[in-house]
Amino acid sequence: MLQKKKNAVLVDGVILNGPIMDSKAGEKFVEEACKIIMEEVIQKANDVTEKVCEWRAPETLKKILDLEMRDTGESHQKLLQLCQDVIQYSVKTSHPRFFNQLYAGIDYYSLVARFITEALNPSVYTYEVSPVFLLVEETVIKKMIEFIGWEEGDGIFNPGGSVSNMYAMNLARYKFCPEIKEKGLSSLPRLVLFTSEECHYSMKKAASFLGIGTENVYFIKTDERGKMIPEELEKQVQRARKEGSAPFLVCATAGTTVLGAFDPLDEIADICEKHGLWLHVDASWGGSALISRKHCRLLHGIHRADSVAWNPHKMLLAGIQCCALLVKDNSGLLKKCYSAKAAYLFQQDKFYDVSYDTGDKSIQCSRRPDAFKFWLMWKALGTTGLEERVNRALALARYLVEEIKKREGFQLLLEPEYANVCFWYIPPSLRKMEDGPEFWQKLHEVAPIIKERMMKKGSMMLGYQPHRGKVNFFRQVVISPQVSREDMDFLLDEIELLAKDL
């Protein structure tokens, strides 16, 4: 049957015989680039003598990097140099002194999983295209559900905690009134949801994106530690009812972004139960504490939630992005809410059990196999290895707190519950100043100056922010297993050093 046509076939001026790529040269390029990645990124990941960043201002960096895309391609040699430059001027988020965000560090197993998926380039929607990755996702979701404490459930990996929160908000709305899927929100009473003042900003983004409107997010007061006050929630729900609006959802936070506070889930669940409201817990940051027998009490009551957002790419180091939305319902609510039944993708007359084609639970079409990196890491470390990470991060945070208390000039904002250590550094010139507006104004300007100096020096990276009436303070987040007590000491020493003339 097989026809052999040796002659070149020309269609529309294009020769169609054989491939157009030189795969041997391509493979060699990949090998050479991998060598650079190995030497310049991976092997330097825990070398504290390296800089965290090689700071260049935007205009300078534009001149250094040859950004322009041209008509003709560049040589492999030039491209490898470009790769070197990209690495050199990128922030080393795996550096032991990168404390700037809620992720950090390097996990070798997750990294391998990510290399595998990049090479295989799968999309997770149907079993026929992603058999392994769909089974892995199912397994990981089951396991995460076990740690939440549900007997059963459902879930989906998606691109970020913000998107998880959107999923939950829409799901709660669908549960509240399934007709909204077809009819939309016009002509409906005003839907109202509740979340704390300390919640992640994605709540507002979600309310706006979903057509609910940011004004219909009722922010509940928090106590001095940043925890939602249940009595205030009760009041606001009653207020909403009196207004004639339709409360449908409470979003509690387990691990707030700035302070690392955990809302009292059990008490909030009582209120949700009483009023028939969906309880979503944004545990994007704090969810990882569920892995630790010592610290899981922070999320006491989470099993009563209807949905949970949990990002293993944060404290567990699974790599950006690795985010799950988990749902207690196991009757197919997620699918009913999200399915569009595309006939070209989700054919019902396939030769295998199409219940494995889980892509129709997603707002995406193509979707990355993010569960896989968490899975391989978990296989490698075991639950005890993951637990050790959480325990160590929190012990390091504890150590830092005690050191801060001992040192002159350092002042804690509050006793942390989690890995967010928030503190001011009061430089020598301000230490004798009287408390008052001028003091706070001056203190407000300190953190940005220290930040600029540390960036330009490249010695570490640490975030600061003003927050709810408090002037700029540092937020130190401890995550990476490469981080040690010595790095905590360094951090404090370095702040003193950078600010000694202030």
Selected from 184, 241, 243, 297, the binder of its own copies by CB under 8 A is 184
> Where in 355-460 does DSSP place strands (E)?
410-412, 420-425
Judged by CB under 8 A, how many residues of this single chain contact its own copies?
Answer: 196
Selected from 49, 71, 432, 436, the binder of its own copies by CB under 8 A is 71
For residue 119 the two structure tokens come to: 């090479």
Q: Which is nearer to its own copies, 268 or 498 (CB)?
A: 498
For residue 399 the two structure tokens come to: 């150590």
Among positions 103-122, residues that touch its own copies (CB under 8 A) are 103, 106, 108-109, 111-112, 114-116, 118-122
- The span from the CA of 231 to the CA of 228, in Å, is 9
Q: Which is nearer to its own copies, 341 or 432 (CB)?
A: 341
Q: Which is nearer to its own copies, 329 or 388 (CB)?
A: 388
Q: Which is nearer to its own copies, 270 or 403 (CB)?
A: 403
Among positions 435-454, residues that touch its own copies (CB under 8 A) are 445, 448, 451-452
Q: Which residues contact 469 (CB under 8 A, 6 or more apart)?
A: none
Per CB under 8 A, which region of 75-83, 229-237, 410-418, 432-440 contacts its own copies? Answer: 75-83
Calculate Rg over the CA atoms of the chain. Answer: 26
C-beta of 40: minimal distance to its own copies in Å?
9
Give the single-character DSSP code of 253: E
Binding mask 131-170 for its own copies (x = CB under 8 A): xxx-xx--xx--x---------------xxxxx--x---x
State yes or no: residue 213 binds its own copies (CB under 8 A): yes
SS3 call for 254: strand
Which pairs with CB-CB distance under 8 Å and at least 24 residues apart come from 174-181?
Answer: 174/333, 174/336, 174/337, 175/278, 175/306, 175/329, 175/333, 175/337, 176/246, 176/248, 176/249, 176/278, 178/336, 178/337, 181/337
State yes or no: residue 201 binds its own copies (CB under 8 A): yes
Asked if 282 and 254 touch (Cβ cutoff 8 Å), the reply is yes
Selected from 99, 150, 176, 375, the binder of its own copies by CB under 8 A is 375
Per CB under 8 A, which region of 53-61, 149-157, 226-234, 325-333 contacts its own copies? Answer: 53-61
What's the full length of the chain, in residues? 502
Q: Which is nearer to its own copies, 44 or 234 (CB)?
A: 44
C-beta of 270: minimal distance to its own copies in Å?
28
For residue 76 the two structure tokens come to: 């492999």
> Measured at the alpha carbon of residue 136, what is the angle toward residues 294 and 301, in degrees to the nearest 5?
30
Q: Which is nearer to its own copies, 30 or 231 (CB)?
A: 30
Q: Which is nearer to its own copies, 61 or 412 (CB)?
A: 61
For residue 196 the two structure tokens come to: 């704390």
Among positions 289-328, residues that touch its own copies (CB under 8 A) are 294, 313, 319-321
SS3 call for 123: coil
Per CB under 8 A, which region of 98-106, 265-273, 410-418, 427-435 contacts its own copies? Answer: 98-106
State yes or no: residue 23 binds its own copies (CB under 8 A): yes
Per CB under 8 A, which region of 265-273, 325-333, 435-443, 476-484 contacts its own copies? Answer: 476-484
Residue 159 neighbours by CB distance under 10 Å? 16
State yes or no: residue 381 binds its own copies (CB under 8 A): yes
Among positions 222-251, residues that touch its own copies (CB under 8 A) are none
- The span from the CA of 145 to the CA of 151, in Å, is 8
Selected from 175, 177, 197, 204, the binder of its own copies by CB under 8 A is 204
Among positions 338-367, residues that touch its own copies (CB under 8 A) are 338, 340-345, 347, 349-353, 356, 363-367
SS3 content of the chain, % helix, strand, coil (to 5): 45, 15, 40
CA distances from 481 to 50, 141, 199, 384, 487 (A): 18, 24, 27, 14, 11
C-beta of 323: minimal distance to its own copies in Å?
8
Per CB under 8 A, which region of 200-208, 262-270, 273-281, 408-416 contacts its own copies? Answer: 200-208
Selected from 97, 200, 227, 328, the binder of its own copies by CB under 8 A is 200
Per CB under 8 A, which region of 130-138, 223-231, 272-280, 410-418 contacts its own copies? Answer: 130-138
C-beta of 275: minimal distance to its own copies in Å?
20
For residue 471 the two structure tokens come to: 């002037």
Among positions 393-422, residues that touch its own copies (CB under 8 A) are 394-396, 398-399, 402
* Residue spans of alpha helices (H) in 65-176: 76-89, 108-120, 131-148, 161-176
Which strands sit side by side in the sheet containing 217-220, from one edge to the other? 154-158, 323-327, 307-310, 278-282, 246-253, 191-196, 217-220
C-beta of 350: minimal distance to its own copies in Å?
7
